[in-house]
A and B are shown apart, each in its own frame.
Chain A
Amino acid sequence: MDCKFFDVNIWIGKPMNDEKNISVTVEETMEKMSFLNIEKAIVWDISQRDVHPQIGNEKLIKEISNKEQFYGVLTLLPFQTDEIKIYSFKELKEKKIVGFNFFPKKHNFILSKISFGEFLAELENRKFPIFLDVMSGFSVDYRDVYSILSDFPKLTCILCNTGMWNTDRFTWPLLEKFPNVYLESSLLSLNEGSLEETVKKFGAERIVFGSGFPERYFESSIAQLTHAKISKGDKV
């Protein structure tokens, strides 16, 4: 089957520490995507995490502005410190920004009702997504996710990099309780049976394709999904 992919989990740019020499240029990312039939992607720039959200966000907006295959995710800090430029939802749309992410553990704040209450409530109403990385150690852990979703149960939330070991015990209760939680697929694909069994239990609507590139291989997520024992309709 000749599948086309929309990848929601890619970062671009050069990380502060690249011990394994994994970063590639945006052009190389695009070339690889096109070879593998990945038509579109949601990306963020690693400098949003490693340098400062303000620097990274502006770099990202510029980078994706002239590339039709890319949409972007901006990184937020608590607005109280006035460090980042705030865009209206109309401006975000014009700039192809489709979500927000947060790195509280790296940027030293707490993502909660106290720091982001009104804003998260607005995102909840608008169904504007947040992307939460639960594995890197820079963003959130499952306890944080449980707590945020308890306060904002309708929040549209895409859990990325769900964990190296099978995380069904963490994620299935979330899928059961919160209707707008979605799982990014790359590490479900890594874990034997996790993607198939999650689809069986909660439906393919709750999973969005992602690769984790450049930390992980595009090919891995693609091959697993292509040969997962789920229906063709579910894959699409």
Chain B
Amino acid sequence: MNKLWEEFLKNGKIESFPVIDVHCHMGFFYGSHLPYIEPEKMIERMESVGVKLCVFAHHYSLFNPDIGNKVVIEIVKKYPDKFRGYCSINPHYQNNIKNDINSYDKLKDVYVGFKLLPDYHRVPLSNKRYQIVFEYAEENKSIILTHTWGGSFYNGENEVEKILKKYRKLKLILGHSLHNCWDKAIEIVKNYENVYLELCAVIDERGVLEKFIEKIGSDRILYGTDFPWFNHHYYIASLFGAGLSENEIKKILYLNAFYLLKKYT
């Protein structure tokens, strides 16, 4: 471990394997200043730290129904080696969802799945407005990344379990790992085999990843950062800070996502 840490600290990246970030965004965000929001600048930053691929949901797709997912399609087509997209779902615009799903099949080189943001859109995960997305994703083996937060009415542990009980084969990434309800996140991973925990807003504090590793190991944990919100050097270094083995670090930064995304990339 020390050798890999020394290598990372010295070179700013790990040479022996690349990094895949499964939870990214792009573009301006109303809530805070994000200095590096353009795809070209993001690519420069990714290359400096050994991140090979970012899977992202564009802020405008999430927040601006007039733009929707076309901005994702454009960017992925321009930089297919660097980015894959989530088709963002805004539950308030059912027509957009229908159109997105109708065109989804033709965009297999763009999308790996869907992104849901219930806390922001203020519609609970189990609401019927998302139903068509869950059904489509389960049937077509597309991934869903949903924002989750412990205790939330919209995407807390109760809502997550309702979905998992109903869609047994769905591959679901819990963005932020049910933040603060860490024990429940662990229990859910133990009980449902197609669920993954994602580390954005998790490894900016000591103690949580250590607990995940102890209770469920590293096979179902994915690296995610909300990039360009958060910094890759900061996040990757925290895996070393948590005392993980080289093998665990490799699974989290690369292998788990590689196998999950294999059919799309």
A219–B238 CB distance below 8 A? yes
Asked whether A16 is an interface residue with its Cβ less than 8 Å from the other chain, the reply is no
Report the Cα distance A213→B205, complex, angstroms.
Answer: 9
Which listed residue, B34, B205, B242, touches A192 by the CB 8 Å rule?
B34
Q: With both chains docked as a complex, state the minimum distance between the C-beta of A36 and any C-beta of chain B, in angstroms.
A: 9
On chain B, the residues within 8 Å of A193 by CB distance are: 34-36, 228, 231
Q: CB-nearest residue of chain B relative to A218?
A: B241
On chain B, the residues within 8 Å of A31 by CB distance are: none
A192–B35 CB distance below 8 A? yes
Within 8 A of A (CB), among B20-52: 31-36, 45, 48-49
**Of B5-13, B96-104, B120-128, B245-253, which stretch is located at the interface?**
B5-13
Asked whether A191 is an interface residue with its Cβ less than 8 Å from the other chain, the reply is yes
State whether A227 and B242 are in contact (beta carbons under 8 Å apart), knowing that A192-B36, A193-B36, A222-B237 are contacts in the complex. no
Asked whether B236 is an interface residue with its Cβ less than 8 Å from the other chain, the reply is yes
On chain A, the residues within 8 Å of B205 by CB distance are: 20, 22, 215-216
Asked whether A166 is an interface residue with its Cβ less than 8 Å from the other chain, the reply is yes
**Of B86-94, B149-157, B206-214, B256-264, which stretch is located at the interface?**
B206-214
Q: CB-nearest residue of chain A relative to B44?
A: A229
Which listed residue, A20, A166, A192, A196, touches B206 by the CB 8 Å rule?
A20
Asked whether B201 is an interface residue with its Cβ less than 8 Å from the other chain, the reply is yes
Asked whether A63 is an interface residue with its Cβ less than 8 Å from the other chain, the reply is no
A79-109, CB under 8 A of B: which get 1 and which 0? Answer: 0000000000000000000000000000000
Asked whether B108 is an interface residue with its Cβ less than 8 Å from the other chain, the reply is no
On chain A, the residues within 8 Å of B230 by CB distance are: 190-192
Q: Which size bracket describes the interface of A in this complex?
A: 20 to 34
Q: CB-nearest residue of chain B relative to A190?
A: B234
Asked whether B235 is an interface residue with its Cβ less than 8 Å from the other chain, the reply is yes
Asked whether A220 is an interface residue with its Cβ less than 8 Å from the other chain, the reply is yes
Report the Cα distance A144→B35, complex, angstroms.
Answer: 26
A223–B33 CB distance below 8 A? no
Q: With both chains docked as a complex, state the minimum distance between the C-beta of B48 and any C-beta of chain A, in angstroms.
A: 7
A220–B35 CB distance below 8 A? no
A224–B233 CB distance below 8 A? yes
Within 8 A of B (CB), among A156-184: 164-169
Q: CB-nearest residue of chain A relative to B235?
A: A220
Within 8 A of A (CB), among B195-245: 201, 203-208, 210-211, 227-238, 240-242
B8–A191 CB distance below 8 A? no
User: Residues of B within 8 Å of A, CB-based: how many?
Assistant: 37
B12–A227 CB distance below 8 A? yes
On chain A, the residues within 8 Å of B231 by CB distance are: 189-193, 224
B49, B201, B241: most-surrounded residue (chain A CB, <10 A): B241
Asked whether A194 is an interface residue with its Cβ less than 8 Å from the other chain, the reply is yes
Q: With both chains docked as a complex, state the minimum distance between the C-beta of A169 and any C-beta of chain B, in angstroms.
A: 5
A192–B227 CB distance below 8 A? yes
B207–A22 CB distance below 8 A? yes
State whether A223 and B204 are in contact (beta carbons under 8 Å apart), knowing that A168-B33, A189-B234, A190-B231 are contacts in the complex. no
Report the Cα distance A65→B227, complex, angstroms.
Answer: 43
Asked whether A226 is an interface residue with its Cβ less than 8 Å from the other chain, the reply is yes
A1-26, CB under 8 A of B: which get 1 and which 0? Answer: 00000000000000000001110000
Could you pull out 26 A-B pairs where Cβ atoms are within 8 angstroms? A21-B207, A22-B207, A164-B204, A166-B32, A166-B33, A166-B34, A167-B32, A168-B35, A169-B33, A190-B204, A190-B230, A191-B231, A192-B231, A192-B232, A193-B34, A193-B35, A213-B206, A215-B206, A216-B205, A220-B235, A222-B237, A223-B8, A223-B234, A223-B236, A224-B233, A226-B9
A residues near B (Cβ < 8 Å) are 20-22, 164-169, 189-194, 196-197, 213-224, 226-227, 229
Q: Which 9 A-B pairs have the closest CB atoms?
A: A217-B241, A20-B207, A193-B35, A223-B237, A219-B241, A227-B12, A219-B237, A166-B32, A168-B33
B residues near A (Cβ < 8 Å) are 5, 8-9, 12, 31-36, 45, 48-49, 201, 203-208, 210-211, 227-238, 240-242
